[in-house]
Amino acid sequence: MNLNEEKYNKFALVKEMMETPGIVVTFDPEVTERFVEKVKSKKGLFLTGEGSSRIFPAKRAITASLRDNSSLPVMTEGCTQAEEYDLSDYAVFAASNSGQTKEVVRLTTGLKNKKHDAVFGLTANPGTKLGEIADDTHVLTCGKEDAVAATKSVIEQGLFYDSLIRKVNGEEMEGLRDLAAKTEKALTLEIDPAITGIISNASIIYFAGRNTGVAEELALKTNEITRKKSAYLEGTFAVHGIEEVMDKTEVLIWIEPFPAEQEKFRECLVTGVGMNIVAISSVKTIFPTIIIPDGGEYAEYVQLAAGWNVLVETGISLGIDLDKPTRARKVGNEYIPE
């Protein structure tokens, strides 16, 4: 992506994506300090929300907590299913950019009616219904998004949870300037037109990779940005039966492929099905590979930015208005006061 070119800069979506490095470098880890003691008073942290406000921020937080052997158990579920759980011993964070998501409002209202004393909100707007219900609400600094697809807000939500978990564990959040530079590099990488062509011509775009929220979030963004059908295939699910119904018109985009499983994927999907596999990775793979910076402990943010880049190039090559999907809405299911 390149904001100096009209084919990119006419879209709010691209402009908002390109604001992400600035959001990363100016993020203040101290914004989570006021929540730390209340979170510590509970046995775990429960992160909820709907769509993009949950997929990457929450699942990336779970991955980081498990990878770092955090003392704080972190869990997630969508709001409606979460209503069936006893969350009294968890600090609950509900994320909704609008602060008006119906499922979020319903869950948080129910928890407060049960006298839950640690229900918190994460929004991009002040003066919302969620803010009215929650014990405390943090408002993101990224500002309003005009595009339907959430992008820069997803990254800031991830940073917020990242900071919170580190503070609970007595750790500092460092390296954001370096992360911002790598994120910008991932956003502006020139994508091989041959790879864009493979993806643009596919009937279905699958995403595979670790359950960090990256591949799953990109599968959702595929629908909103390219208007193509997509699916997220967690871990090595792609070679455990679904290959039976795949065909050569489809493509799989693999985020940071597992070295031990690359030959199996090639055998089952490339040789067996006849489909293409494209990798987004910090190292070369046996497949056509988009090489991205190694983000280290922040790798998922860089991977997500690179995926956005690929989807924008695909959408533009297909002549799509990136800002105006036909059916998708900014607030998927909005709370309407009675």
Task: Read off the CATH number of the domain in which 200 is found.
Answer: 3.40.50.10490
Which residues of the chain, if any, have pLDDT below 50? none
Q: Do residues 194 and 170 share a domain?
A: no
Q: Do residues 137 and 194 share a domain?
A: no
**Interatomic CA distance for residues 47 and 128, integer angstroms:** 19
Q: Do residues 197 and 160 share a domain?
A: no
Give the residue from 153, 175, 197 where a domain finishes.
175
The count of structural domains within the chain is 2
Q: Do residues 231 and 118 share a domain?
A: no
Three-class SS of the chain:
CCCCCHHHHCCHHHHHHHCHHHHHHHCCHHHHHHHHHHHHCCCEEEEEECHHHCHHHHHHHHHHHHHCCCCCCEEECCHHHHCCCCCCCEEEEEECCCCCEHHHHHHHHHHHHCCCCCEEEEECCCCCHHHHHCCEEEECCCCCCCCCCCCHHHHHHHHHHHHHHHHHCCCCCCCHHHHHHHHHHHHHCCCCHHHHHHHHCCCEEEEEECCCCHHHHHHHHHHHHHCCEEEEEECCHHHCCHHHCCCCCCEEEEECCCHHHHHHHHHHHHHCCCCEEEEEECCCCCCCEEECCCCHHHHHHHHHHHHHHHHHHHHHHCCCCCCCCCCCCCCCCECCCC
Q: Which two tokens stand for residue 212?
A: 């960090």
What's the one-letter identity of residue 260? A
Calculated CA dihedral for residues 120, 334, 141, 187, nearest 10 degrees: 120
**Cβ-based burial of 330 (10 A; exposed 0-12, middle 13-18, buried ≥19):** middle
pLDDT given at position 80:
97
* Within-domain flag for 209: yes
299-317 and 193-200 are packed helices; what angle lies between their axes, rounded to 10 degrees? Answer: 70
Residue 128: domain span: 6-175
* Within-domain flag for 192: yes
Strands 289-291 and 251-255: unpaired
Q: Which of 280, 5, 282, 303 is nearest to 154 (CA)?
A: 303
**Interatomic CA distance for residues 87 and 262, integer angstroms:** 40
Q: Do residues 89 and 126 share a domain?
A: yes
Give the residue from 152, 175, 198 where a domain finishes.
175
* Within-domain flag for 335: no
Q: Which of 20, 15, 7, 78 is nearest to 303 (CA)?
A: 20
* Within-domain flag for 298: yes
Give the residue from 127, 150, 175 where a domain finishes.
175
Calculated CA dihedral for residues 229, 232, 255, 50, nearest 10 degrees: 100
Calculated CA dihedral for residues 201, 204, 210, 216, nearest 10 degrees: 110
